[in-house]
Structure 1
């Protein structure tokens, strides 16, 4: 999903897609660009959650973005209901026969009481009003149902010079344009409020081979980049992009980029 909401959570708050109703739509790129450049979660995430759930009848994916996790859940659950407040994200979502996409907020889900085996929020919970979202998750949960918050952290690229330039951009240059809730993503949701009986989850990562276009395309989807542009600082991303292309060299040969994946799963 996305990267801060107008109404942040209490006791610890997307990415990165928009999970809050009042997030300015121009903080994010269009859904098609988001779908193209955002990394996909490892399939082990959905398989692990399906193995823990009391049943694999229905999963609800909240703040679904363009369906990065929704489509994988569909391989393990009979039905997936996927919601995002952004019409552009839903419009660009990846179709799958057993996935139903709908524009909707995490705090007001059009789902019947006691009917859901799993509720997920991928890279989006830091946007929500957490108490309201958690109340909705409990309302729609079937007996024994689970809730899972999934996030991927700050990337690492397998080249020291590129990594150093990326670090300066992320922390020093674009850093002031991140919303305060972004820290929950950086921390792998470890400090986000999670008032559930928590279960152990495996350590996972997203590993991709990216060329400069794919690497910069992903960074261009960040809300912080959009906000910097609105503040008249488009030069930050432009200069960073020029440096990355220059440092990359080697005719743009793909290099490995990795994101640590965190899954916090609990019993509803």
Structure 2
């Protein structure tokens, strides 16, 4: 794909991101006491870390990609650090919340478990969550079909097989999300594969206006379903691994 297309995709990604992190965290923590010190592992450009700010006094966003950190949105409660979950640059027993927002699939390891045991204090919570925005129905309405390869990615990955972490809750839910045609167009065009198919379909280098018009022919307001996967844990400090 040309540099022009890459720049266009980046603009659409930056123009609108649905507030899915905020919706999930509100479900989990709306009635919780504030957390003093949280760690968001695999924070990317900071969307998941900033979504924690209503519930936490301080958040460390840990991300292996410096390029992602360079694009992260600043916030007075958030400190971004390049790194990974196997070596969290914080003191032992200093954290009372750890979150994995779509990152556990890439981060899960025995070394990560040991590091969580070290950095979390005895009452700490660990939240694993992920989501999938179900865009196929709207693509079908436009007469488009996106062929996807098998990635092996597991949205529902969790710590259920880790005795060091005790499960508090686990649920899979479907949330409705309402978007205008321009907002939905930005979401659709923020993927390389979808952008290529839509650009070819409309025969436009940047098909945003044409896509908005096509979406408006269907409806001006669209309700999209989002499948969410959420698991909440506490650290079992008495486990053999956590005592090493």
TM value normalised by structure 2: 0.71
Match for residue 123 of structure 1? 102
Checking the alignment, whether the CA contact within 8 Å between 2:177 and 2:224 is kept in structure 1 is: yes
**How many residue pairs end up in the alignment?**
217
1:42 maps to 2:22 = yes
* Alignment partners' CA distance in 2, 1:165 and 1:122: 30
Residue aligning to 1:253: 220
DSSP 3-state at the match of 1:94: coil
How far did residue 91 of structure 1 move?
Answer: 2.2
Q: Relative contact order (C-alpha < 8 Å, sep 6+): which is higher?
A: 1
2:35 alignment partner in structure 1: 56
Aligned positions of 1:130-149 closer than 5 A: 130-149=109-128
SS of 1:164's partner is helix
What is the CA-CA distance between 1:134 and the residue it aligns to? 2.5
Cα separation, 2, equivalents of 1:200 and 1:167: 40
SS state of the match for residue 180, structure 1? coil
Measured in 2, the distance between the counterparts of 1:46 and 1:94 equals 20
In the TM superposition, what is the alpha-carbon distance from 1:204 to its structure 2 partner? 6.1
CA contact (8 A) 2:133 2:224 kept: no
- C-alpha displacement at 1:129, in angstroms? 3.9
> What's the counterpart of residue 238 of structure 1?
199
Give the Cα–Cα distance (whole angstroms) in 1 for the partners of residues 100 and 188 of structure 2.
21
Structure 1 residues 34 and 83, CA, compared in 2 at 3 Å: closer, same or farther? farther
Deviations 1:23-76 (A, max 9, x none): xxx9xx75x7644433222345157347567x7110101111222221221211
Distance 2:35 2:94 in 1: 11
Take 1:167 and 1:102, find their aligned partners in 2: how far apart are those partners? Answer: 43
What is the alpha-carbon root mean square deviation over aligned residues?
A: 3.5
Larger radius of gyration: 2
The TM-score with structure 1 as length reference comes to 0.66
Match in the other structure for 2:151: 179
Structure 1 unmatched ranges of 5 or more: 1-25
Structure that is richer in strand per residue: 2
Q: Matched residue of 1:66: which SS?
A: coil
- CA distance in 2: counterparts of 1:240 and 1:140, whole angstroms: 51
Q: For the Cα contact (< 8 Å) 1:144–1:267, is it kept in 2?
A: yes
